[in-house]
């Protein structure tokens, strides 16, 4: 506690603010009270993390960006359901994975309609451009799918930072903030994760 003199000469006792207090928890509590600015700070602190999780599930940058938006819209509507604000990030990633699964189901329905001439005619606006991709693009896509398959086999503690760093292009400080890690812990995870990834690549 800190004693501070007021204008009359008396002293009042002020609480010491712990600089290590869980910022996420404070922001979540404020957002649960309807504070949109607090929720916007949550978005900035976790957007890349959510993107990495969704990208691992979908393997498509544009679809992942759309699902990230859906995830935060859902999180804002349901943030009152978070019982323990300290566990907000795991809850948010669950919301993200559910949104990604919904996106996959929608994409599957669109593909089925595209294969049915009548359904395709009835919902032409839902059918993606059927133009073929160049051979180079197909090869890159095949390599990307292989890498995603390997990343999905890694524990999440490795796959998320690797995705953020080498696919999302985030710097170490950004990844540390997004994952709530110290710089040293992050570098250790990246080194161990990349070592395991290289072993898997050689094993395949």
Q: Where do the CATH 1.10.1740.10 domains begin and end in the chain?
A: 1-131
Q: Could you tell me the fold of the domain covering 134-204?
A: Arc Repressor Mutant, subunit A (1.10.10)
Q: Distance (Å, rounded) from C-alpha 170 to C-alpha 50? A: 13
Instruction: Give domain 1-131's CATH architecture.
Output: Orthogonal Bundle (1.10)
Q: What is the DSSP letter of 2?
A: E
Q: Distance (Å, rounded) from C-alpha 179 to C-alpha 89? A: 9
Strand partners, 35: none
User: What are phi and psi for residue 149, nearest 5 degrees?
Assistant: -60, -40
Q: What is the pLDDT along the chain (204 residues), one digit of tens a residue?
A: 434 444 444 443 433 333 333 888 999 999 999 999 999 999 999 999 999 999 999 988 899 999 999 999 999 999 999 999 989 999 999 999 999 999 988 877 776 666 655 544 444 444 455 555 567 667 777 777 888 899 999 999 999 999 999 888 899 999 998 888 899 999 999 999 999 999 998 876
Q: Distance (Å, rounded) from C-alpha 83 to C-alpha 167? A: 33
Nearest 5°: the CA angle 172, 176, 177 is: 120
């Amino acid at each position: 506690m800190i004693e501070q003199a007021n204008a009359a000469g008396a002293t009042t006792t002020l609480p010491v603010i712990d600089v290590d207090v869980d910022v996420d928890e404070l922001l979540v509590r404020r957002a649960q009270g309807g504070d949109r600015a607090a929720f916007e700070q949550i978005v900035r602190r976790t957007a890349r993390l959510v993107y990495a999780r969704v990208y691992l599930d979908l393997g498509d940058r544009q679809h992942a960006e759309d699902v990230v938006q859906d995830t935060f819209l859902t999180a804002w509507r349901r943030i009152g359901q978070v019982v323990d604000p300290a566990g907000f990030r795991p809850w948010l990633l669950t919301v993200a994975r559910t949104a990604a699964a919904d996106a996959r189901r929608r994409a599957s329905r669109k593909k089925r309609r595209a294969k049915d001439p009548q359904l395709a005619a009835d919902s032409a606006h839902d059918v993606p451009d059927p133009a073929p991709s160049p051979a180079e693009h197909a090869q890159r896509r095949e390599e990307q799918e292989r890498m995603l398959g390997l990343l999905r086999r890694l524990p999440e503690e490795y796959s998320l930072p690797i995705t953020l760093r080498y696919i999302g292009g985030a710097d170490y400080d950004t990844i540390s903030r997004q994952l709530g890690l110290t710089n040293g812990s992050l570098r250790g995870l990246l080194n161990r994760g990349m070592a395991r990834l290289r072993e898997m690549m050689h094993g395949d």
